[in-house]
Amino acid sequence: MAQRFNKILVANRGEIALRVIRGAAKLGYKTVAVYADADAQSLHMREADEAVHIGASPAKDSYLVIEKIIAAAKTSGAQAIHPGYGFLSERAEFAQAVADAGLIFIGPDAHSIDKMGNKSASKIRMIAAGVPCVPGYQGDDQSDETLVAEARKAGLPVMVKAAAGGGGRGMRLVFEEKDLLAAVQSARSEATNAFGSGQLLIEKAVMNARHVEIQVFGDRHGNVVHFGERDCSVQRRNQKVVEEAPSPAVDDALRLKMGAAAVAAAKAVQYVGAGTVEFMLAKDGAFYFLEMNTRLQVEHPVTELVYGVDLVEWQLRVAQGEALPLAQAEILDNRFGHAIEVRLCAEDPQENYLPQTGPVLRWAAPAGEGVRVDTYLETGCTVSPFYDSMQAKVIAWGEDRETARQRLLKALDETRFLGLVTNKDYLHAILSHEAFAGGDFSTGFIGQYFSQETINAAKPTARQIVLAAVALYLDDARRLSEQHQIDTEMIGWHSSHETGIDFKLKCRSAETELELLAHDGHLFTASIGECKVVIDVTRHSAMGFAYIADGVQGKAQVARNGDALWLEAEGNTWCFIDRTLAPVEGPAAGSDGRLLAHSDGKLVAVHVKPGDVVEKGQTLAVLEAMKMEFQLSLPVGGVVEAVAVAAGTQVRNKTLLVQVRPQV
């Protein structure tokens, strides 16, 4: 008989920790959170019944230390550990350590994780189990020469992939033979830093395919079932951006075939608990095994909404030794409607998805029919540089795909995330695109429709710039009124004729000067180039204002932090820097030969030493921030005078890394 438990430690943080804590509490379990220094005031820590501090902010000193997690469970009296996803969730040694400590691991057994944890080994096992696999190489000889030769044998294009990881790291798509060696070496370096293993495999690239995965579930009574598919084809850098269930490309017959293959894969490793078998689906309907994720997935909410189940509840029941609550036929009969999820990230699409950190000035989650939000965010919290850039998941369900899509668009419109750059507008643009709306797309969707040049072309309109000036005027007036107890009716009053107010506003690299005329404190006019803008403010508060422009009433949401004003209006969010009284800016960053860290992160590599002659645009160092690697260079060439930090060092934003004496 299985060991019973009533107190669960959640070995994770952020939205997934909160999701598990709330799900377990709803079922009557007591919960224990763990937290690092950066999460000392976090929502997941506060909502748990108990919380245990496990170390410094870097994950390697806290969330990734098995001994600290086990000790926290022992100290708190928790009898079971839920790993969430990421961190230790797919580490066989962690599952084994939990079992060895006499605790229950809420997930698959260590042997199942081990068999599926390495992509090369799992692919060999799947071939033996009769699961369709992509042609390629997954052998033990990991020399550059062998990998390049096997890639040539498979036939270009090929995918070079880390055998020990996921999340798009350690993956390179190669189209030309001349790029093979560099891709192998780069993928190995990134995989070693991300997963502690540089083992790679080669797979023939199936172009214009979809990424379709099957949710599976097993118990200790020999039952394994599936919950149909999720389509995760909208990706950038092999990282999922949008997920949905069911897939627009899968019919009932194909669903049964893919489901049967996924169940066979799970049975091949005696799988227990929640897992996901990922496939590549070609245009002709052929599908190929990619990998198995031996944990709960980020995108599990879309399956829950479509099949009417709570997968965390199922995890807890199975961990208690119970049989699966439903049989396969019942599960498939329960499928109803469509659900779509987007990953809301603190990253800047216009800066090559550079992760963003800092205080959240304002957060408000949307609500409404069919809308669900999984997040840990709250106004006043801080997005840390130590963890993943994903901060929330916004999900919508509808009776059909179009209803779900429209609900999700509206939910994004009503999401407030101000204080740092996010991908919210980018997500809205993806959902609005006619190719996504039509459902006919592949993993090349973002590359095809959202090139970096297309993304970078977005800029604020003349009206949005004027709205920013109006927001600054109203905020200054409100603060003045509060400080000096001036009646708000006096805002905008003049003892003589009205005079314009000069503004100099910077948004990204563009600076705009304008004169704003305020009439009676609510009617504003300004001209930018040939465009004259008239804004009539009908009501306002510290969080924004309503206005009429060209006969249409709109709303502007605002948040301010010193000279930085965050404005969300007319479908876009922009950060404007008030430079009206600021001194003249210096030359472009890096033109003085100083290479600075562009974000908080860890220095993965330094490619130069003092005395080296470097060229403009040459990679000098590699910085890892929020699980992504960035090649850092300068806009000038010259001679390296000094290297200020070594590889492996955790650095803050703007830290000096390399000093170059520019060529004259």
Residue 13: partners with Cβ closer than 8 Å, 6 or more residues away: 34, 35, 36, 39, 42, 44, 63, 376, 387
Write out the two tokens for 141.
């000889």
Q: How many other C-beta atoms can be found within 10 angstroms of the C-beta atom of residue 254?
A: 16
Q: What are the Cα distances from residue 198, in Å, to 56, 135, 142, 191, 431?
A: 27, 21, 9, 5, 36
Q: Which of 122-131, 429-438, 563-572 has the lowest mean pLDDT?
A: 122-131
How far is residue 593's CA from residue 658's CA, in Å, rounded to a whole number? Answer: 8
Residue 307: partners with Cβ closer than 8 Å, 6 or more residues away: 227, 228, 331, 334, 335
How far is residue 352's CA from residue 286's CA, in Å, rounded to a whole number? Answer: 33
507: nearest Cα among 475, 559, 454, 468: 468
Contact 102, 27 (CB under 8 A): no
- Segment 131-154 mean pLDDT: 91
Instruction: Give me the phi and psi of 116, to 5 degrees please.
Output: -105, -10
pLDDT digits (tens, 9 = 90+) for 495-528: 555 668 899 999 999 999 999 999 888 999 999 9
Q: What are the Cα distances from residue 191, in Å, to 188, 318, 358, 645?
A: 5, 33, 28, 22
Quick one: CA dihedral 158, 161, 167, 169, positive or negative? negative
pLDDT digits (tens, 9 = 90+) for 1-51: 457 899 999 999 999 999 999 999 999 999 999 999 999 999 999 999 999
- Using CA atoms in the order 407, 413, 416, 419, what is the torsion angle rounded to 10 degrees? 140
Burial of 28 (0-12, 13-18, 19+ CB in 10 A): exposed
Q: What was the pLDDT predicted at 288?
A: 94
Contact 307, 228 (CB under 8 A): yes
- Residue-wise DSSP of 233-292: EEEETTEEEEEEES-TT--HHHHHHHHHHHHHHHHHTT--EEEEEEEEE-TTS-EEEEEE
| CA of residue 385 relative to chain centroid, distance | 13
602 band by pLDDT with thresholds 50, 70 and 90: confident
Burial of 26 (0-12, 13-18, 19+ CB in 10 A): exposed
Reduced to 3 states (helix: H, G, I; strand: E, B; else coil), residue 172 is strand
pLDDT digits (tens, 9 = 90+) for 442-477: 999 999 999 999 999 999 999 999 999 999 999 988
E runs forming strands in 442-551: 501-507, 510-519, 523-528, 531-541, 544-549
First-to-last C-alpha distance (Å) of the chain: 78
Contact 157, 179 (CB under 8 A): no
Order of all β-strands in the sheet with 628-632: 628-632, 621-625, 601-606, 650-651
Q: How many other C-beta atoms can be found within 10 angstroms of the C-beta atom of residue 544?
A: 21
Q: What was the pLDDT predicted at 130?
A: 92
**Rounded to 5, what percent of the chain is helix, strand, coil?**
30, 35, 35
- Give percent above pLDDT 70 in the chain: 95
Q: What are the Cα distances from residue 203, in Å, to 27, 206, 528?
A: 44, 9, 54
Task: Give me the catalytic one of 125, 295, 405, 416.
Answer: 295
Q: What was the pLDDT predicted at 1?
A: 45
Quick one: CA dihedral 244, 248, 254, 256, positive or negative? positive
Reduced to 3 states (helix: H, G, I; strand: E, B; else coil), residue 309 is coil
pLDDT of 652 higher than 70: yes
How far is residue 312's CA from residue 316's CA, in Å, rounded to a whole number? Answer: 6
- Strand pairing class (30-36; 7-10): parallel
Residue 431: partners with Cβ closer than 8 Å, 6 or more residues away: 242, 340, 342, 405, 408, 409, 412, 437
Q: What are the helix (H) ranges across 485-618?
A: none
Q: What is the DSSP letter of 640?
A: E
- Segment 359-370 mean pLDDT: 97
Q: What was the pLDDT predicted at 587?
A: 62
Q: Which of 9-18, 71-80, 200-209 has the lowest mean pLDDT?
A: 200-209
Catalytic residue status for 4: no
Instruction: Give me the phi and psi of 269, to 5 degrees please.
Output: -120, 20
Burial of 471 (0-12, 13-18, 19+ CB in 10 A): buried
Q: What was the pLDDT predicted at 650?
A: 85
Write out the two tokens for 10.
């959640």
Residue 361: partners with Cβ closer than 8 Å, 6 or more residues away: 379, 418, 419, 559, 560, 561, 566
How far is residue 140's CA from residue 269's CA, in Å, rounded to a whole number? Answer: 21
Q: What is the DSSP letter of 545?
A: E
Write out the two tokens for 233.
């084809």
Angle between helices 119-128 and 110-117 (to 10 degrees): 100
Reduced to 3 states (helix: H, G, I; strand: E, B; else coil), residue 164 is coil
pTM: 0.85
pLDDT digits (tens, 9 = 90+) for 206-259: 888 999 999 999 999 999 999 999 999 999 988 999 999 999 999 999 999 999
Q: Which of 154-158, 400-404, 577-581, 622-626 has the lowest mean pLDDT?
A: 622-626
pLDDT of 489 higher than 70: no
Contact 174, 147 (CB under 8 A): no
Contacts 24+ apart (CB under 8 A), 605-609: 605/189, 605/647, 606/643, 606/645, 606/646, 606/647, 606/657, 606/658, 608/640, 608/643, 608/658, 609/640, 609/643
pLDDT digits (tens, 9 = 90+) for 36-49: 999 999 999 999 99
The 3-class secondary structure across 593-635, one letter per residue, is CEEECCCCEEEEEECCCCCCEECCCCCCEEEEECCEEEEECCC
pLDDT of 584 higher than 70: no
pLDDT digits (tens, 9 = 90+) for 276-319: 999 999 999 999 998 999 999 999 999 999 999 999 999 999 99
